[in-house]
Each structure stands twice: as structure tokens, then as C-alpha cells.
Structure 1
Amino acid sequence: MEAHLTNEELDELSALAESDQFHVVPDHTGNDTYSTTSTQDLMRRGDPDAPFTEASNAPTPFLVTLVAKVFLLLRPLFAIIFSPRVQRTVVRTAFLTIALSWIVSVACSAYIAFYMAHVPKTAHIEPVYLQYEKGMHPMALVDLTKKGTYTKPLRHEQQYTVDIVMNVPSSEINFDVGNFMVRVDLKSADDKTVAFSSRPSILRYESALHRILAVFARALLLLLGLSKETQVLVVPMMEHFVEDQAHSVTKAVVSVSDSRLQVYSMQLHMVADFHGLRYYMYNHRILTAMVFITLFICIELSFATVAWRLFGYTLWTRISQWADSVEKDGAGGYTDANSEKDPLIAGVESASEKSDQADDDD
């Protein structure tokens, strides 16, 4: 018997076929396990707030066992590291390290400051520019203050050696000049002459034959510009000069007696002549530094010991007592030998036992 559908029923079937809002659900009648599991899964999918079952959340037995073993192995190490005795030792070691580092750094800084204050500048070397004027001796004014940078260039209790260094050509004119005089006047800021000195000088004698042979021997170097026919004259002007503290030297006047003298360059050298402690501090720096730094460390340790006996020990005892009281109040008998196990370790052991029991049941 054929069933005849109306036009409305045919339209509803066509609309249902074109729509995707339907699912094919297989029939599992008789399979109770599958039905129960499928029902639970569908409930979880439909309800996001539905709790997961214990089986879905339980960690793997191997992972639980591994974590438990690791905690059991590391528990003695943690007990040693976090014990009160070890903590006190660490605190004391850190305190001593910081204190010793501070003492050594202060000693080094003290020696550096002492060296800079006690040892003056070694040498003052200034160029001299001679002024050649008609009817006057060549003369130059030398400023020792570096254009006002130093108000007192020299140390008033220090001895100095004053020299004039001249670089002159080995010319016939200079040989003909013969002896000439060099004068140095040291003046204060108010243009008062503090000290002066006049010393003679002369070029080293060279015969005509000697000069000819010397030119032949250095012919190639002279042609290449690697050598010059010059002489360097060092004229010592003053020895053991000590500056007057009331009249500090700020400038020097240098003059030459003969205007025929040909000069390439000239310099004024004022070199400190160290004696006593300054001599050792400058010429034996490492040894002196070690001795003084050790002395400063001993002095600091002496004062630190006195301060510890008077104030530090009492303060440290009070801090230790306060730390012990806080530790006892917070521990609550946890460190006792018969106390309960660590909750974290107990939880891991319980999970491990449950995992082993589940394996035995399987």
C-alpha cells in the first residue's frame, strides 16, 4: 500500500534535507558501559561547569612515583640547608665577607688618597719660546699655572731641580758663539723674584774632520730626514730649590746672553727631588702600597674589634634570640623528631600508594 504525501509534507522533508541541524545517533542498546560513559561525556560537553571525574584528573602512576622518590631523596638535603645552624653559619659568613671587603676597600681608598696628597707632581715641563728683539737679549716668559689651572704649581716643602734643555743646530755660527749665558728668574704672582740663576753653556767641540766624517756616516739618514745635525744641551740652573710658602712661584723668565745663538727648541724642566718617605712611595710603589694597606687594615680591624666588644656582640645576641623565638613560634613543633610528616611529602606518598593499589587491582 503506497503512502501519498501532501504538498506541505513534501515541502517540510525538502527543507529538512537542505538543513544541517541534525545528527545521526547510533543505537547502542544493551551496552550499559558505553551508554553510561557516553552520557557522562555528553553531560560534560553540554555543561562547562560539570566537574571532571577522578579518573580523568589522576596523574600517571610513573610520574607520582618519580616525584615521591625525588622528594624522599632531597628531604635530608633540604633539612640540612634550611636548618637553623646552617642559616646562622651562612649569615655569619656573609656578614664577615661584607665586613672584610669593606675594610679592604676603605684601606685601598685611604692609601690612594694619602698618596695623592703626600706625593706631588713629579715634573713640570714647559716649552720656552724665545723672543728676538733688536738691541735686546732673547727672552721668554713661561707660565707655570697652565693658564690659571693651578694657583700653586709647586709644593712648598718639596725640593726641585731646575734645568734648561736646548736643541740647537751644529752650525758654524753656534760654534763661533762659544760660551753663552742662560738666566732663569722664578717669579711669584705679584711679579716678585723668588729665585734666580745664571749658568754658562757651550756646544760640544767637534773638529772639522770629525764633522765631515760624521756627515758621511749619516749621509743616507740625513737625506731621508731620519737624522739631523743637532746637539741637545742640558743646562742645570738650580739644585734643591724649595719654594717659599708665602710667595708661590707662578711664572719664570728665561733669557740667553747672545742673540746670535740659533735654537731649534727650548724647554724648562722643574723636576721634584724626592727624599725620605716620598722617595719610597714613588720609586717602590707596590711594596709601599702593600705595607701601608696592611697597616690601614690592622688599624681598622683594631677599631672594629673594640666596636664589636662594646656594641656589636650585644646587638648580635639580641638579634639571634629574636630569630630563635620567631622560628619556634612559626615552627609549632614541626622540627621535633616525633612530629608529623611534611604535608607535601605525605600527599605525594598517599598518591603513590593509591597508584600502586590501582596497579595491583588491574
Structure 2
Amino acid sequence: MGLITMILALPFEMLRGYIIQPVVDRTHNTYDDYRNRTKQGVITTREVMIKLAILAFAAAIIIWMAVFMYIAFYYTYMPSIAHVRPVYMQFKTCEEIIGPCSFPQAHVLLTRKQQLLMVGQPYRISVNIYMPESEQNLRLGMFMVCAEMRDQRTRLRNHACRSAMLHYRSHLARTISTLVMSPLIIFGIKEETQQIPVEVFSSYEDDQENPVTDVFVEIQSKQIQFYSVTLHIIAHFTGLRYIMFHWPILSASIGIGANLFFIMTVSLLSWYHWSDSVWMEETRKRIRDRAEESRRKRAEVMSASSIGEKTFDDDEDISILEEKPMQFDDDSDIEELTGFSESEIRQRKPQLSETASS
């Protein structure tokens, strides 16, 4: 009965042992592997997202640093393009005739404490006169405009005079222009005036020790008629300033790119140094161990040379003694260190070599 039961159960045991159990084990292992890989994938994705966020934050900081450095350099290196000051002309009146009895002149205050003009930067200084096309100004012809540059102590730094006059237009041209522009002239939109720019300094450079703070303007004509006068100080750019002013987008791209390259280089070198600090520390430790081992061997060799009966390990120690003998000032030092005289050490040297070779 037991044999029959065993025979009948044998196929089921083989089926369970060779088919069902391997399939179940394989399925269970596959499920465990998939679950582990899923967890590892979640962890890996989280780490990737964190690294990407840190990288984006660092990139944003680097870009803003590059932009800020260029803006700071621009406002430090580039001066103000233009300075405009109103000029309030003054003169003495006459009782006998209508009009001024002296040349119109004015004092223009540029600054009180700080330096207005950048040192080393040339400036164009001009006086703009708004004059009506009156009969008196047309008969006036040429006149002189003078300017004096003075420092805080009212000391004269520079002086110049230039000639000027109204732009000539014939009587027919003025008549046609008046007829065409008459509606605008009637409603006050346009006036019959001319702006006369007089450039008194074409390339003026300020002094750092004695900066200019005041400008004195004088029009050397008593018959002149004008509406207003303004002083214009315009920077005359050359070189890098000229490129930065006339091509701001190109210069900004190059400047920000150079700053990015510099900051990225410094950041990568810092990161490389920080990441390799362990390796560098291990390298230093190995160097120190080698140096300590070398010092220990030298100490052993030196101590062995001072003892006549010492047995050397190999020929290398003897060769060290032969190549680099100890230097002593006199026989007393030798006897004090080894207990033997120099002649005895020389006699014992062959014995030391035989002992080492044996």
C-alpha cells in the first residue's frame, strides 16, 4: 500500500519540484527585483530632481552675478554722457540808449563738493544760444563767445573764445519759409528762431587735483538779442567707451559672457578642489609616511655606523656608508659618538662588509 501511494505521489512530487516550485520562485524573484528597482528608480529620480534644482539655482546665481558685475563695471567705467546747465546772462542797462551797456555774462555753478567730470575723459563744451531772426541780429554779423573754467578756489584752469553768427538765409528764402510756416507761427507752435551752438572746448580734460566747479560765460556783443542760453558738456567717447556707448548690446553680451567664463572657471576649480580634498589628504599622508620611513632608515643606518659589531641587513646600508661617510671635525668627536677611534673604524669596515655578505 505504501509503495502504491509512493508511486502515485511521484508524478505530483516531480511536477511540484521541477515545474511549479521553480515557476513560483521565479515569479517571486521577478516581483522582488521589480519592486526593488522601482524603489531605486524613485530614489534615483528624487536625487536627479534635487541635483537639477541645485544646478538651476547655482546657474541662476552665476548668471545674476555676471550681469551685476557688468552693470557695476558699466556705471563705474562709463561717465555721464551729457551735462546741461542753464546760463542766466546779466548785463548793465543804459539810460541813453535802449539795450545793454555791457557784454552779457553769467556764472554757471557745475558742482559744489564732488567732482562732476571724470578724470581722463575728454569733453566737448559748447554754448547754445537761441536767437530770433530779428533785423538787429541780422545786421549784427559775427560776435565772440568766451568761456572760463575755474576750480573751487576760483583759479583759472582754462580759457577760450570762439566766433559765431546767425545762419545766413536770403530774403526770398525767409519770405517763403514765413509763408509756409505762417499757420504754425500764428498758433505759436513754431517761432522764427535759430539755435547757434558755439563749441568753446573741443577736447577738455579735467584735473583730478583741481577739478572744475565753475564756468564763466561772456558774449562780447552789446547789440545781440537772444531768448535763452544753455551750457552743454558732452563726453567725447573713444576706444572701449565708444564701443560700449554705440554698441551696447554687443558690449553687454561680450562683457557678461566674459564674466560667466571667469565665474564658471573659479567655481569649477573650487568644486574640483573640494571634491578631491580626500584624495589630496591621502596623498599628503603617503608622502609624510614615506618621508618618515626614509628618516627612520637613515637613523638606523647612522646608528649602525656608530656600533662596530652591528650586523647589517643588506648591502644597501653598507653602500650608504661607503657613498656618504660621516664628516667629523676631529678625532674627539668620533670617539665621543662611537667609542672607537677613526683608525679602528677603518680597520673594522672590511669586517662589517663580510658580516653583511654572510
In structure 2, runs of 5+ residues without a counterpart are: 1-33, 94-100, 279-358
The within-5 A match list for 1:241-256 is 241-256=204-219
- 2:183 partner SS: helix
Q: Paired residue for 1:131, among 90, 97, 100?
A: 90
Asked if 1:103 is matched to 2:62, the reply is yes
Relative to 1, partners in 2 of residues 1:81 and 1:125: Cα closer, same or farther, differing over 3 Å?
farther
Q: Paired residue for 1:152, among 101, 115, 123?
A: 115
Instruction: Supply the distance in 1 between the matched residues of 2:49 and 2:183 (Cα, whole angstroms).
Output: 75
| Paired position in structure 1 for 2:269 | 306
Tell me if structure 2 keeps the 8 A contact 1:80–1:86: no
For residue 313 of structure 1, report the CA deviation from its aligned partner: 5.8
Letter of the 1:90 counterpart? M
Asked if 1:269 is matched to 2:228, the reply is no
Letter of the 1:156 counterpart? V
Asked if 1:178 is matched to 2:136, the reply is no
| Paired position in structure 2 for 1:284 | 247
1:255-312 deviation digits (Å, cap 9, x = unpaired): 1001221111111111101111111111111111111111111111111111111114
Instruction: Supply the distance in 2 between the matched residues of 1:84 and 1:211 (Cα, whole angstroms).
Output: 86
For residue 212 of structure 1, report the CA deviation from its aligned partner: 3.1
Tell me if structure 2 keeps the 8 A contact 1:162–1:237: yes
Asked if 1:143 is matched to 2:109, the reply is yes
Instruction: Supply the distance in 2 between the matched residues of 1:142 and 1:106 (Cα, whole angstroms).
Output: 41
- 1:114 partner SS: helix
Letter of the 1:141 counterpart? H
Letter of the 2:44 counterpart? R
Relative to 1, partners in 2 of residues 1:203 and 1:128: Cα closer, same or farther, differing over 3 Å?
same
In structure 1, runs of 5+ residues without a counterpart are: 1-74, 316-362
Relative to 1, partners in 2 of residues 1:303 and 1:210: Cα closer, same or farther, differing over 3 Å?
closer
Instruction: Supply the distance in 1 between the matched residues of 2:274 and 2:175 (Cα, whole angstroms).
Output: 86
Asked if 1:232 is matched to 2:195, the reply is yes
- 1:83 partner SS: helix
Instruction: Supply the distance in 2 between the matched residues of 1:240 and 1:212 (Cα, whole angstroms).
Output: 39
Tell me if structure 2 keeps the 8 A contact 1:140–1:254: yes
Instruction: Supply the distance in 1 between the matched residues of 2:107 and 2:39 (Cα, whole angstroms).
Output: 79
Instruction: Supply the distance in 2 between the matched residues of 1:283 and 1:202 (Cα, whole angstroms).
Output: 32
- Of stretches 250-259 and 110-119 in structure 1, the one that deviates more from structure 2 is 250-259
TM-score normalised by structure 1 residue count = 0.62
For residue 81 of structure 1, report the CA deviation from its aligned partner: 8.6
For residue 96 of structure 1, report the CA deviation from its aligned partner: 1.1
Count of residue correspondences: 238
| Paired position in structure 1 for 2:153 | 190
For residue 116 of structure 1, report the CA deviation from its aligned partner: 0.3
- 1:227 partner SS: coil
Instruction: Supply the distance in 1 between the matched residues of 2:267 and 2:170 (Cα, whole angstroms).
Output: 74
- 1:168 partner SS: strand
Relative to 1, partners in 2 of residues 1:311 and 1:262: Cα closer, same or farther, differing over 3 Å?
same
| Paired position in structure 2 for 1:331 | none
| Paired position in structure 1 for 2:51 | 92
Relative to 1, partners in 2 of residues 1:93 and 1:207: Cα closer, same or farther, differing over 3 Å?
closer
The within-5 A match list for 1:1-362 is 79=38, 83-134=42-93, 135-145=101-111, 148=112, 151-312=114-275
Instruction: Supply the distance in 1 between the matched residues of 2:259 and 2:205 (Cα, whole angstroms).
Output: 31
For residue 119 of structure 1, report the CA deviation from its aligned partner: 0.3
- 1:252 partner SS: strand
For residue 128 of structure 1, report the CA deviation from its aligned partner: 0.9
Letter of the 1:311 counterpart? W
Instruction: Supply the distance in 2 between the matched residues of 1:81 and 1:218 (Cα, whole angstroms).
Output: 84
Relative to 1, partners in 2 of residues 1:81 and 1:172: Cα closer, same or farther, differing over 3 Å?
farther
Q: CA RMSD in A?
A: 2.2
Instruction: Supply the distance in 2 between the matched residues of 1:169 and 1:102 (Cα, whole angstroms).
Output: 58
- 1:267 partner SS: strand
- 1:310 partner SS: helix
- Of stretches 86-95 and 151-160 in structure 1, the one that deviates more from structure 2 is 86-95
Where relative contact order (Cα < 8 A, 6+ residues apart) is larger, the structure is 1
Percent identity among equivalent residues? Answer: 28
| Paired position in structure 2 for 1:25 | none
Relative to 1, partners in 2 of residues 1:80 and 1:224: Cα closer, same or farther, differing over 3 Å?
farther
1:121-166 deviation digits (Å, cap 9, x = unpaired): 0001111110121443110111112xx4x61110011011111111
Tell me if structure 2 keeps the 8 A contact 1:185–1:197: yes
- 1:298 partner SS: helix
For residue 89 of structure 1, report the CA deviation from its aligned partner: 1.4
For residue 171 of structure 1, report the CA deviation from its aligned partner: 0.5
